[in-house]
Amino acid sequence: DAKTTQPPSMDCAEGRAANLPCNHSTISGNEYVYWYRQIHSQGPQYIIHGLKNNETNEMASLIITEDRKSSTLILPHATLRDTAVYYCIVRVAQNDYKLSFGAGTTVTVRA
């Protein structure tokens, strides 16, 4: 699986959009980009995933660059409850195991 690089931390104002970057310059053509988050002391929670096209669901939007070497997770209206560690993970969806969690980005939403 390709490795990812994320900033260690970022702050965001409540009500504003939070844009979380992720670099995955060695991504292969059949690898997907996944985002999970972990709110303090809880189990990780799936947010969204994508291959090439931009994706949106009720939680977030995922923007993948045309060369697929980087992506951005967008939380459109951050709330205090979005304070968490966000993990960007690249993997082949057909793998039958293993999400490789790195250190992630600690996002703090401030009132």
Interface with another protein by CB under 8 A: which residues?
A: 32, 34, 41-46, 49, 87, 92-104
| Of residues 68 and 91, the one with the C-beta less far from another protein | 91
Q: Which two tokens stand for residue 4?
A: 């990812």
Q: How far is the CB of 75 from another protein (least distance, A)?
A: 18
Phi, psi of 33 (to 5 degrees): -105, 125
| Of residues 26 and 95, the one with the C-beta less far from another protein | 95
> Are 7 and 102 a contacting pair, CB within 8 Å?
no
| Of residues 3 and 16, the one with the C-beta less far from another protein | 3
| Of residues 54 and 100, the one with the C-beta less far from another protein | 100
Q: How far is the CB of 62 from another protein (least distance, A)?
A: 13
Q: How far is 33 from 40, CA to CA, in rounded Å?
A: 23
Burial 80-102 (b: 16+ CB within 10 A, else e): eebbbbbbbbbbeeeeeeeeeee
Q: How far is the CB of 5 from another protein (least distance, A)?
A: 13
